[in-house]
Amino acid sequence: MKRTLKATVALAVTVVLWASAFPAIKVGLDGYGVAGLSFARLAVASAVLLLAAPLLGVRRPRAADLPLIAVCGLAGMSAYQVLLNWGEVHVPAGTASLLVSVAPVFSVLLATAFLGERLTTAKVAGSAVALGGSALIAIGGGLGYSGAAWAVLAAAAVQGVYHFGSKPLLKRYTGLEVACYAMWAGTLFLLPLAPAALRGVEAAPPGATLAVVFLGVLPSAAGFVAWGYAVARHTIAVATGALYLVPAVALLVAFVWLGETPTWVDAAGGALSIAGVVLLSLGSLSRGPGRTAAAAPDRPEPVRSAGGSRRVPSP
């Protein structure tokens, strides 16, 4: 009973941390800019995970896996950070969370195209609805807003590439290990942006620097650890269902923290996107919704935790 309660608390903490990342990015952009924030967040997270790695049992990767790890780091960490931060220059934090929530769609499409996974009617319908909702958000806010919204949607796409590319690695490593490897690789790819981060440390307001530290330590580092603990002890249905709350919590946090209020277009598009992802997941879970995450190899967003289970995209 206590173990289940701890897992539920860890799941709730993960949802709040990952949801809070979206408004924190808005704060961090003030003084650090897109380039500085992108590198600084990954650098802080990499340092925390490097210190915690021995305690978490993270092993060294095999040399033969380094090229694929590099691809995962480049897509899921480096490109994701730059695109999301760039998009949030104009897109409200809560709206960005709604757009990122469609990342599982891209994972499913890649798995269908390259791994021969079966494309069911539910997956087709869910993908169409989710992408339609995202398109509604992207085209509904004017020219400048539209370009930024497409950048956030591109961030969701590279997250899908990350989850797809990490699939072979998960046969040999835990999800936490893969996340650590990708985080470290992604930080190396963004080293050219380090000067921008250093300028931010010197000139940014204290609130922006605190936001950067928050993003690196909590959503990017502690969030992975909490998620790994939670999903190792819950079924896919429970874990995935909880993560559908991330956009809703992000909207609430953005309203309280930043005073943001979504437009009716954003709300409608977001509702369609989440409905599409739910439908997509129901199609993926049709073979056995009561199984734990560790027992479901056909999940569209495969990242296993330290306990052998999987996760969906994080911010």
Q: At what angle do helices 175-189 and 2-56 cross, to 10 degrees?
A: 50
The pTM for the full model equals 0.84
pLDDT of res. 105 = 83
| Low-confidence stretches of the chain (pLDDT beneath 70) | 1-3, 140-145, 231, 235-241, 283-315
Burial class, 2, CB count within 10 angstroms (exposed 0-12 / middle 13-18 / buried 19+): exposed
Distances from the Cα of 103 to the Cα of 110, 148, 188, 259, 301, angstroms = 11, 17, 24, 26, 8
pLDDT of res. 275 = 87
For residue range 165-211, list pLDDT tens digits in order: 888 898 898 878 988 999 999 999 999 999 999 999 999 999 999 99
For residue range 102-120, list pLDDT tens digits in order: 888 888 888 888 777 777 8
Contacts of 86 (CB under 8 A, 6+ apart): 34, 148, 151
CB atoms within 10 A of CB 114: 10
Decide if 105 contacts 131 (C-beta within 8 A): yes
Decide if 208 contacts 41 (C-beta within 8 A): no
Q: Which residues pair with 235 in a beta bridge?
A: 292
